[in-house]
Amino acid sequence: MRAMLMREFGGPLDVVDVPEPRAPEQGVIVEVRATGLCRSDWHGWAGHDEIHLPHVPGHEFAGVVAEVGPRIKRWRVGDRVTVPFVCGCGACEWCTSGNANVCPDQQQPGFTHWGSFAESVTVHNADANLIAVPDQIALEAAASLGCRFATAYRALIGRARLTAGEWVTVIGAGGVGLSAVMIAKAVGARVIAVDRQPGALQVARGFGADHTLLSAVDPVSARVHELTAGGSHVALDAVGSQETCADSILSLRRRGRHVQVGLLPPVNGHPRVPMERAIAWELDLLGSHGMAARDYAPMLALIERGDLRPQDLIERTVGLDEAATMLPHLDSATPAGITLIDPRL
């Protein structure tokens, strides 16, 4: 099968023929119909994760079950499926309590094993991790759920417990940030979107953002406090830098909730976080890491009803060859939405 192969960190990516995977006893093989090109893939390419080379990236996908292992009970060849980017073992105390996204024995396609930038991908412990895609939801839309959309949903609804009427500041209007804007508006919150690119902010306004701030020009935290009469109830850092994390925390009102979604690579050791504000104002600092398969049903119901439209976030679809040239530049790219890969192109 054709796949995007990484032979060195920070090096060129090649599209080559590799052996077809075989289904593990408790796993399945999914024929990939669509897979998202995500900044998390760039972190892996850059060497920020423990990845064994050679490696096939890709962690956000949807497709059709092509082969099932002998111990699989819930799935059949031909089923339309997607999967969280964190797959739990299905047996530990975190998995059985519904928190597979923090499973200590987790598998992550595209990180712990070869991923979805290929014609087929392996899903381990499939009975616990696969999610059926309703016929009313296109596989292209489902491919955007596993990392960015589901992550934003979990961050705002599961972690921050965002409610109608609250202010939320979303820093970064890429895939996660725009998903967060859409989700926040769907629950009746008021949204301030922050980005360094005017084009991304224009898209955020189209998704309902009440205010937008250009981070290169506006003093973010001061403007948020002015617009909200005291700061946001919730703030989400969808970028992952020392500066964006600080802007998110400092934009909060007293007793506010910060959610960190963007990965924070080391900067001279560890990034500096304004903990003095967190202590003095009794802020909640929350991490959010994907979303367990068990929690997908309410989100899928909103998508089926049309209250949430992840398909509107899809900016373009490319083949593996074009994606191989794009991935190394994702840290500086300025997409206002989600780029999908169709391995059949």
Q: How is the chain split into domains, by residue range?
A: 2-143+309-341, 149-287
In three-state secondary structure terms, 182 is helix
Mean pLDDT of the chain: 94
Q: Could you say which residues of the chain have pLDDT below 70? A: 266-269, 334-336
Beta bridge partners, 257, equal: 234, 284
| Token duo for residue 61 | 């996908």
Helices (H) and strands (E) in the chain, counts: 12, 15
Q: CA–CA separation, 299 vs 58, rounded Å?
A: 23
Q: CA–CA separation, 197 vs 199, rounded Å?
A: 5
Q: CA–CA separation, 38 vs 66, rounded Å?
A: 25
276 exposed, middle or buried (CB, 10 Å; 0-12, 13-18, 19+)?
exposed
Dump pLDDT digits (tens) for 121-146: 999 999 999 999 999 999 999 998 87
Dump pLDDT digits (tens) for 61-100: 999 999 999 999 999 999 999 999 899 999 999 999 999 9
149-287: which CATH topology? Rossmann fold (3.40.50)
pLDDT (0 to 100) of residue 337: 75
Q: What is the DSSP letter of 118?
A: B
Region for 101 from its dihedrals, namely left if φ exceeds 0, alpha if ψ lies in -120 to 50, beta otherwise: alpha
Q: Is cis: bond before 54, omega within 30 of 0?
A: yes
**Interior angle at CA 46, CA 41 and CA 48, nearest 5:** 85
pLDDT (0 to 100) of residue 76: 98
CATH 1.20.1250.20 fits 2-143+309-341, yes or no: no
Q: CA–CA separation, 342 vs 127, rounded Å?
A: 25
pLDDT (0 to 100) of residue 334: 66
